[in-house]
Amino acid sequence: AHSDVVKMATVARLDAAFKGQDVLFQVLGGGDWPHRHWLLRLYGAGADRAFLERLAKMYGIAERIEFCGHVGDIGCVWAENHLLVLPSRSEGTPLSLVEAMLCGRPSVVTDVGGNLEWVDEPFTGFIAEAPSPRAIGNALERAWTAREFWGEMGQRAHLAAMSKINPNPEET
């Protein structure tokens, strides 16, 4: 059934040099990933779409990658996906991470920019210590192994994001 397929999403411009989608494709094309039930949706536009489509074919995962373009309603994205994966090589604090947390979704992120201020492994997500295939692969593996806890992690991510955005809710 399609319902037991794990749906991962990357919400970022299609710019592999900064956003690392190429590394993610490399990871998902190897190891145990070809034998697992998953789908990766890419939300965002950018110059690297054709390159990433070719890369997905090269790694044999093209039928599991959906290019969804830019989506205005982020709530719809998180109603349909279980896990945010941001394999970024360079990042500030990605708005897409904050949005996913607010929508109650755990994430896999790299230790770049402000990500560590937001993600607390193993409570709200998973952290790859570097934007390398090995580190991202290990973090994704930890996420996959813990997928039965993603619901609880997402609830904690929501609460953590709310407390960062509004530390004193009683004052509003």
Condensed to tens digits (0 to 9), the pLDDT of residues 100-153 reads 999 999 999 999 999 999 999 999 999 999 999 999 999 999 999 999 999 999
Q: Which of 7, 15, 35, 25 is nearest to 106 (CA)?
A: 7
What lies within 8 Å, CB to CB, of 47 at 6+ separation is: 14, 15
Condensed to tens digits (0 to 9), the pLDDT of residues 140-150 reads 999 999 999 99
Backbone angles phi, psi at 45, to 5 degrees: -120, 165
Provide the whole-model pTM: 0.94
